[in-house]
């Protein structure tokens, strides 16, 4: 599906809460949201707003709403469901940004209507929304220099290296051009 067929109004960056997880590969969705907001440098944007009794914070830009769940990754569906209700939008109008431990760093895919492939945050969203008909931006986090293939749990919660930060910034820039 090409860019013109996408009607994405809301970007939801998945990750875990707390300083322990801030700069880890598993938090790539939240890191992307911060990058997107910073790169656009819209004057009216100052900070994220946390609606009362909601499990997410958001930032309103001129063309998109950026959302960061205030839940752990595996409960992302609760925040996503609340956000969809709060903004009165359909699942087809959201893009969920998350890590993909099967793709190498430097790669990404924008997909629609796909199964979770074992990603617990994405599965939580599917379970809460009762659909998989939403956009996903899958960002590769697998190290390219593996001698022996690691299990995802061996590297997803590690801090992002300086080299990978640089590579990911390039990936983020390419994704933004596609949105």
Instruction: List, by residue number, the catalytic residues.
Output: 26
Cβ-contact 105, 144 below 8 angstroms: yes
The answer for 46, left when phi > 0, alpha when psi is -120 to 50, beta otherwise, is alpha
3-state secondary structure 27-72: HHHHHHHHHHHHHHCCCCCCCCECCCCCCEEEEECCCCEEEEECCC
Strand 135-142 and strand 94-104: the pairing is parallel
């Amino acid at each position: 599906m090409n860019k013109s067929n996408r009607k994405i109004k809301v970007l939801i960056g998945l990750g875990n809460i707390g300083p322990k997880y801030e700069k880890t590969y598993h938090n790539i969705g939240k890191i992307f949201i911060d990058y997107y907001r910073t790169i656009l440098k819209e004057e009216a944007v100052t900070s994220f707003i946390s609606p009362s009794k909601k499990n997410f914070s958001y930032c309103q830009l001129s063309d998109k709403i950026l959302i960061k769940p205030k839940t752990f990754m595996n409960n992302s569906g609760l925040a996503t469901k609340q956000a969809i209700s709060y903004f009165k939008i359909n699942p087809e109008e959201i893009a969920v940004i998350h890590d993909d431990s099967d793709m190498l760093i430097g790669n990404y895919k924008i997909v629609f209507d796909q199964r979770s492939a074992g990603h617990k945050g994405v599965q939580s969203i599917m379970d809460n929304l009762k659909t998989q008909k939403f956009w996903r931006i899958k960002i590769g986090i697998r190290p390219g220099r593996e001698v022996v293939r690691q299990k995802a749990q061996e590297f997803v919660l590690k801090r992002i290296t300086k080299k990978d930060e640089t590579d990911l910034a390039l990936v983020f820039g390419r994704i933004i051009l596609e949105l």
